[in-house]
Chain A
Amino acid sequence: MNLESKENGDFQVIAVHEPRIDAAAAIRFKDRMRELTAGGAPHVVLELSEVEFIDSSGLGAIVAAMKQLGATRRLDLAGLTPTVDRVFRLTRMDSVFTIHDSLAEVRAVYSG
């Protein structure tokens, strides 16, 4: 599970360099997210533009990653591809997460 983390001013960006977050990858994804977010950045953005496919297990793993942050830290999503976006909208998870079109949009919103 190739995740890359960068501190980016007021937030931490974690880019997923994988084409799939599926049942075969969900546990490793959750574990890597726990390691990478251990530093305590208050605002984490998960960048998903390389992820072409997510299933219900992958969706559950992203929810779990958000819950791992506790009540005061937040997890936003950015760069959803069409099929991934469809899964978030169908399950109404788009109402739980703040979803940005791209990292550029995140920067514009929070660094301006």
Chain B
Amino acid sequence: MSIRFAFVSGESEVRQALRHLRQELDQMGIGDEDLGLAELVLGEVLNNVVEHAYGEGKDGRIRLTCRASGDALAFCVCDTGRPLPGLVPPPGLPPDLDCAREDLPEGGFGWFLVRSLTSGLTYARRLGCNVRRFRVPLSRPPGRAEG
């Protein structure tokens, strides 16, 4: 069982892609809680591509593949935008909330969420493409929606 599709970079296109992914995962029998977490992770990764790899005024394609692999969903997300700075994904440190209200962070949660909810995250720059692979663990195996 695998899912494979491509779309043009953009915030509303990411919304559509996530809706499509949800439908496909639902058909694979992925439970609601796991669906929610997979959508959250993919939302962060895909919006990061839109905002940073392609950025303002630049569009390009994003390719996504997903397959159920044991007790996880294995994802691969590719684009032809700018490489990650230093060719290394950010560590995704937890946001620092130990501060006054006016200094609370309004961003910087994305990579933290991705790091928290995935395993085996790798990044490679290959033939002009950014290739990210990661696994989203499943709380229960697919295909048992009826219970």
Binding site for B on A (CB under 8 A): 20, 22-24, 52-53, 55-57, 59-61, 63-64, 66-67, 71, 82-83, 86-87, 90-93, 95-96
Contacts and interface: CB of A to CB of B under 8 A. Distances in A.
B39 interface: yes
A63 to B, nearest CB: 5
Q: Is the interface of B mostly helix, strand, loop or mixed?
A: helix
A63 B106 CA distance: 6
A20 B94 CA distance: 23
13 contacts: A23-B50, A53-B43, A55-B110, A55-B113, A56-B110, A57-B110, A63-B105, A66-B101, A71-B102, A86-B36, A86-B37, A90-B117, A91-B112
B120 to A, nearest CB: 19
B9 interface: no
B109 A91 contact: yes
Contact of B109 (A20, A52, A56, A86): A56
A95 B97 contact: yes
B82 interface: no
Given A83-B36, A83-B40, A55 B47 contact: yes
Nearest to B41: A55
B109 A60 contact: yes
A67 B102 contact: yes
